[in-house]
Amino acid sequence: MSFPPTLKQLRYLVALNKTMHFGKAADACHVTQSTLSAGLQELESLLGAQLVERTKRSVMFTALGEEVVRRAQTILNDVDDLTDMAAASKDPLRGIVRLGIIPTIAPFLLPRIMPAIREKLPNLELHLREDKSAELCDQMRLGELDLVLYALPFACGDAVEMPLFHDPFYAAFPHGQAPAACVHPDELDESKLLLLEEGHCLRDHALEACHLLGRGAPRALAGTSLNTIVQMVAAGHGNTLLPGMAIEAGLARDAGVDVVPFRDITPTRTIGLVWRKTNPRAKTFETLGHVIKEVMDHHQ
C-alpha cells in the first residue's frame, strides 16, 4: 500500500522551487537542510519519480517536478483557505489580511485610508507589501498575499475584481511651459512624454486612458518612480502624465512643474481590489473595499 504525499513534503517542494536553493528553502520552512532533503527524497520515493535534479552548484526541476509543484501549490492554497474559512466564520472582521499594493498608489492612498480602516475595522490587521502588479499577482497566486490593491484592468488569473473608484490623470509640464490652462490629449507631444519604466502598469494605463497607446515610439528616457519623473520634467526633459491622487498628496507641489487638467475628457484609471476566487474571506475583503470606497467617495 502506497501512502500519499504529506503537506509538509509538498511545502518543502514548493519552497525549493521558489528559492532554487536547498539552504534557503530549509530556512523558509524553518527546518534543517538535511530534514528538507530527506523529506524531498521521501516524496520522490512515494511518487516513484525524480522531481529535482541535484548538482553541487544548481537545482533544476524535471518536467514532472514542475507539474507537481503547480498542483502542490493549489493543494496548499486550498488547505490554507480551509483554515482561513474556519477563522473567518468566527469573526470575518478579525485577523491578519496580507495586502499587496503598487508603488504608484501606496504612498498617496494609504495615508488617506488607513485612519478609516483602523477606526471602522479595528480588529483587522493589515500586513502591507509594495511591489509591481505582476509580482503582486504572482504572490497572491502562490498564497503569499490575500489580495491586491492596484489599477484595473490587469490580468491576474482566476481572480475576483472589485472596482473602488476612478483616479483622474493630469498633464505636467516644466514650469512656464504649459501650452494652456487645460489641454486635450491630442495636443500632447509623444516625443517629449516621460513615463515610468516598462513593468509599471501606470505606464500603459496612462497611455490608454489618454488614447496615446501605440501612437508613437516610447521615449528613451524613463523613470523608476513618479518622484523621479517629476524631477525630470522640472529639469526640462519633457512632460508627463500624473495620477490625481499623487497630485493631491503634494507630489508636484513646489517641484518646478505646472499641472493642468485635460479639456473635453477626463482620462482616468480605475483603482480596485483583487483576490483569488477560491479565497473564503471574500466578505472580509468586500467590507474592506467598501471602507476604502466610502473614504474616496467622500473625498471626491
**Per-residue pLDDT, 163:** 97
In this structure, is residue 2 part of a structural domain? Answer: no
pLDDT at 300 > cutoff 70? no
Co-location of 182 and 263 in the same domain: yes
In this structure, what CATH number is given to the domain that contains residue 76? 1.10.10.10
Residue with cell 533544476: 60
**Per-residue pLDDT, 50:** 93
Q: What is the pTM of this model?
A: 0.73
Co-location of 30 and 178 in the same domain: no
pLDDT at 199 > cutoff 80? no
Co-location of 182 and 228 in the same domain: yes
Interacting residues of 132 by C-beta distance below 8 A, sequence separation 6+ = 102, 103, 199, 200, 201
In this structure, is residue 19 part of a structural domain? Answer: yes
Domain final position from 70, 86, 102? 86
* Angstrom distances, CA of residue 229 to CA of 18, 173, 220, 222, 237: 33, 11, 13, 7, 9
In this structure, is residue 1 part of a structural domain? Answer: no
Q: What confidence tens digit (pLDDT) does each residue in 131-189 have?
A: 999 999 999 998 899 999 999 988 898 899 999 999 999 999 999 998 889 998 888 88
Co-location of 285 and 155 in the same domain: yes
Co-location of 263 and 170 in the same domain: yes
Co-location of 209 and 71 in the same domain: no
Domain final position from 86, 114, 137? 86
Q: What confidence tens digit (pLDDT) does each residue in 26-41 have?
A: 999 999 999 999 999 9
In this structure, is residue 53 part of a structural domain? Answer: yes
Co-location of 262 and 275 in the same domain: no
Co-location of 225 and 181 in the same domain: yes
CA 278 to the chain's CA centroid: 18
**Per-residue pLDDT, 157:** 85
Q: Domain residues for 274?
A: 93-164+270-299
Instruction: Count up the domains in the chain and report the number.
Output: 3
In this structure, what CATH number is given to the domain that contains residue 177? 3.40.190.10
Q: How many other CB atoms are found less than 10 A from the CB of residue 158?
A: 8
Co-location of 211 and 137 in the same domain: no
Co-location of 54 and 126 in the same domain: no
Question: How far is the C-alpha of 198 from the C-alpha of 91, rounded, in Å?
Answer: 41
Q: How confident is the model at residue 280 (pLDDT cuts 50, 70, 90)?
A: confident
User: Greater confidence, 66 or 199?
Assistant: 66
Co-location of 132 and 148 in the same domain: yes
Interacting residues of 201 by C-beta distance below 8 A, sequence separation 6+ = 102, 104, 132, 133, 150, 151, 154
Q: Which three cell numbers stand for residue 23?
A: 539552504
Co-location of 183 and 263 in the same domain: yes
Question: How far is the C-alpha of 47 from the C-alpha of 4, rounded, in Å?
Answer: 8
Q: Which three cell numbers stand for residue 197?
A: 519604466
